[in-house]
Structure 1
Amino acid sequence: MFCNQCEQTAKGTGCTVVGICGKSEDVAALQDLLTFAIQGLSLVAVEGRKVGVIDNKIDRFVAESIFACLTNVDFDPKRFQKWINETVQYRDDLKKRVEAAGGKVESDADALTFAPALELKNLYAQGKALDLMQSLDDNEDLRSLKQITVYGLRGLAAYADHAAILGREDESVYAFIYETMADFTRKGQSLETLVGTALKCGEVNVKAMELLDAGNTGTYGHPVPTEVPLGHKAGKAILITGHDLRDLELLLKQTEGKGITVYTHGEMLPCHGYPELKKYPHFYGHFGTAWQNQQKEFPTFPGAILFTTNCIQKPKPEYKDRVFTTGLVGWPDQVHIEDDKDFTPVIEKALSMPGFTEDEDKGSVMSGFAHNAVLGIADKVIAGVKGGDIRHFFLVGGCDGARPGRNYYTELVEKIPQDCIVLTLACGKFRFFDKKLGDINGIPRLLDIGQCNDTHSAIKIALALSKAFDCSVNDLPLSIILSWYEQKAVVILLSLFSLGIKDIRLGPTLPAFISPNVLDVLVENFACKPISTADEDLKTILG
Structure 2
Amino acid sequence: MFCYQCEQTAKGTGCTVAGVCGKDATTATLQDLLLYATKGISMYAHRARQLGASSRNVDVFVIEALFATVTNVDFDPERLRGMLLQAAAVRDEARKLYEDACAKAGKTPDTLGGPAAWIPEEELDDLVAQGAEVTILNRKAALGDTVTGLQELVTYGLKGAAAYADHAHILGKDSDEVYALFHEGLDFLTKPNPTVDELVGWSLKAGEVNMKVMELLDAANTGAYGHPVPTPVRIEPVKGKAIVVSGHDLKDLEELLKQTEGKGVNVYTHGEMLPAHGYPGLKKYKHLVGNYGGAWQNQVREFDEFPGAILMTTNCIQKPRETYKGRIFTSGLVAMPGVQHVSSADFSPVIEAALAAPGFAEDGPDKTILVGFGHETVMGVAGAVIDAVKSGAIKHFFLIGGCDGAKPGRNYYTDFAQQVPDDCVILTLACGKFRFNKLDFGEIGGIPRLLDIGQCNDAYSAIQIAVALAKAFEVGVNDLPLSLILSWYEQKAVAILLTLLYLGIKNIRIGPSLPAFITPDVLQVLVDNFNIMPITTPEEDLKAILG
Q: CA deviation at 1:191?
A: 1.5
The aligned residue for residue 230 of structure 1 is 235
The aligned residue for residue 174 of structure 1 is 179
Residue 524 (structure 2) pairs with residue 520 (structure 1): yes
The aligned residue for residue 530 of structure 1 is 534
For residues 133 and 475 of structure 1, the distance between their equivalents in structure 2, rounded to whole angstroms, comes to 42
For residues 401 and 263 of structure 2, the distance between their equivalents in structure 1, rounded to whole angstroms, comes to 37
Q: What pairs up with 1:473-512 in 2 under 5 angstroms?
A: 473-512=477-516
The aligned residue for residue 97 of structure 1 is 97
CA gap of 1:474–1:97, structure 2 versus 1, over 3 A, is closer
**What are the ranges of 5 or more consecutive residues in structure 1 without an aligned counterpart?**
none
TM-score under structure 2 length normalisation: 0.97
Q: What pairs up with 1:304-343 in 2 under 5 angstroms?
A: 304-338=309-343, 340-343=344-347
Residue 416 (structure 2) pairs with residue 439 (structure 1): no
State the secondary structure of the residue aligned to 1:261.
Answer: strand
Contact 1:428–1:483 (8 Å) recurs in 2: yes
The aligned residue for residue 33 of structure 1 is 33
Contact 1:43–1:105 (8 Å) recurs in 2: no
Residue 299 (structure 2) pairs with residue 294 (structure 1): yes
For residues 190 and 369 of structure 1, the distance between their equivalents in structure 2, rounded to whole angstroms, comes to 42
CA gap of 1:105–1:8, structure 2 versus 1, over 3 A, is farther
Q: CA deviation at 1:100?
A: 2.7
State the secondary structure of the residue aligned to 2:212.
Answer: helix
Q: What pairs up with 1:93-172 in 2 under 5 angstroms?
A: 93-101=93-101, 102=103, 104-132=108-136, 134-135=138-139, 138-172=143-177
Contact 2:3–2:136 (8 Å) recurs in 1: no
The aligned residue for residue 16 of structure 1 is 16
Amino acid at match of 2:84: I
For residues 111 and 435 of structure 2, the distance between their equivalents in structure 1, rounded to whole angstroms, comes to 49
Residue 429 (structure 2) pairs with residue 428 (structure 1): no
Q: CA deviation at 1:531?
A: 0.1
For these two proteins, the number of residue pairs brought into alignment is: 542
Root-mean-square deviation (CA), in Å?
Answer: 1.2
Contact 2:404–2:489 (8 Å) recurs in 1: yes
Residue 217 (structure 2) pairs with residue 215 (structure 1): no
The aligned residue for residue 78 of structure 1 is 78
Q: CA deviation at 1:254?
A: 0.2
Contact 1:390–1:440 (8 Å) recurs in 2: yes
Contact 1:291–1:402 (8 Å) recurs in 2: no
Contact 2:510–2:535 (8 Å) recurs in 1: yes
Can you list the C-alpha shifts for 1:326-382, whole angstroms capped at 9, x where unaligned?
A: 0111011211011x1000000000000110111111511000011111111101100
The aligned residue for residue 398 of structure 1 is 402
For residues 162 and 499 of structure 1, the distance between their equivalents in structure 2, rounded to whole angstroms, comes to 23
For residues 482 and 77 of structure 1, the distance between their equivalents in structure 2, rounded to whole angstroms, comes to 33
Which of 404, 407, 430 is equivalent to 2:411? 407
Contact 2:58–2:93 (8 Å) recurs in 1: no
Contact 1:133–1:147 (8 Å) recurs in 2: no
Amino acid at match of 1:465: L
Contact 2:58–2:94 (8 Å) recurs in 1: no
For residues 463 and 331 of structure 1, the distance between their equivalents in structure 2, rounded to whole angstroms, comes to 41
**What are the ranges of 5 or more consecutive residues in structure 2 without an aligned counterpart?**
none
For residues 245 and 58 of structure 1, the distance between their equivalents in structure 2, rounded to whole angstroms, comes to 24
Which of 388, 393, 415 is equivalent to 2:392? 388
TM-score under structure 1 length normalisation: 0.98
Q: What pairs up with 1:52-63 in 2 under 5 angstroms?
A: 52-63=52-63
| Deviates further, 467-476 or 87-96 | 87-96
Which of 338, 363, 369 is equivalent to 1:365? 369
For residues 259 and 243 of structure 1, the distance between their equivalents in structure 2, rounded to whole angstroms, comes to 24
Which of 253, 256, 260 is equivalent to 1:251? 256
CA gap of 1:25–1:362, structure 2 versus 1, over 3 A, is farther
Can you list the C-alpha shifts for 1:96-142, whole angstroms capped at 9, x where unaligned?
A: 23223325542553212111111101111111232246427513222
Contact 2:272–2:430 (8 Å) recurs in 1: yes
Q: CA deviation at 1:32?
A: 0.4
For residues 80 and 118 of structure 1, the distance between their equivalents in structure 2, rounded to whole angstroms, comes to 12
Contact 1:109–1:185 (8 Å) recurs in 2: no
Q: CA deviation at 1:40?
A: 1.0
| Deviates further, 176-185 or 374-383 | 176-185
Contact 1:222–1:372 (8 Å) recurs in 2: yes
For residues 380 and 22 of structure 1, the distance between their equivalents in structure 2, rounded to whole angstroms, comes to 47
| Deviates further, 174-183 or 197-206 | 174-183
Q: CA deviation at 1:232?
A: 1.3
State the secondary structure of the residue aligned to 1:317.
Answer: coil
The aligned residue for residue 271 of structure 1 is 276
State the secondary structure of the residue aligned to 1:232.
Answer: coil
For residues 425 and 196 of structure 1, the distance between their equivalents in structure 2, rounded to whole angstroms, comes to 27
Residue 354 (structure 2) pairs with residue 354 (structure 1): no
Amino acid at match of 1:170: S
Q: CA deviation at 1:414?
A: 0.5
The aligned residue for residue 44 of structure 2 is 44
The aligned residue for residue 280 of structure 1 is 285
Amino acid at match of 1:21: C
For residues 540 and 8 of structure 2, the distance between their equivalents in structure 1, rounded to whole angstroms, comes to 24
Amino acid at match of 1:535: E
State the secondary structure of the residue aligned to 2:6.
Answer: coil
Q: CA deviation at 1:236?
A: 0.4
Contact 1:236–1:303 (8 Å) recurs in 2: yes
For residues 51 and 292 of structure 1, the distance between their equivalents in structure 2, rounded to whole angstroms, comes to 46
For residues 539 and 227 of structure 1, the distance between their equivalents in structure 2, rounded to whole angstroms, comes to 33
For residues 417 and 389 of structure 2, the distance between their equivalents in structure 1, rounded to whole angstroms, comes to 20
For residues 93 and 480 of structure 1, the distance between their equivalents in structure 2, rounded to whole angstroms, comes to 44
For residues 164 and 143 of structure 1, the distance between their equivalents in structure 2, rounded to whole angstroms, comes to 31
Give structure 1 regions of 4+ aligned residues with deviation exceeding 6 angstroms: none
For residues 171 and 97 of structure 2, the distance between their equivalents in structure 1, rounded to whole angstroms, comes to 29
Can you list the C-alpha shifts for 1:262-281, whole angstroms capped at 9, x where unaligned?
A: 00111111100100100011
Amino acid at match of 1:537: D
Amino acid at match of 1:492: I
State the secondary structure of the residue aligned to 2:262.
Answer: coil
Contact 1:234–1:357 (8 Å) recurs in 2: yes
For residues 133 and 383 of structure 1, the distance between their equivalents in structure 2, rounded to whole angstroms, comes to 55
| Deviates further, 17-26 or 47-56 | 47-56
| Deviates further, 111-120 or 215-224 | 111-120
State the secondary structure of the residue aligned to 1:325.
Answer: strand
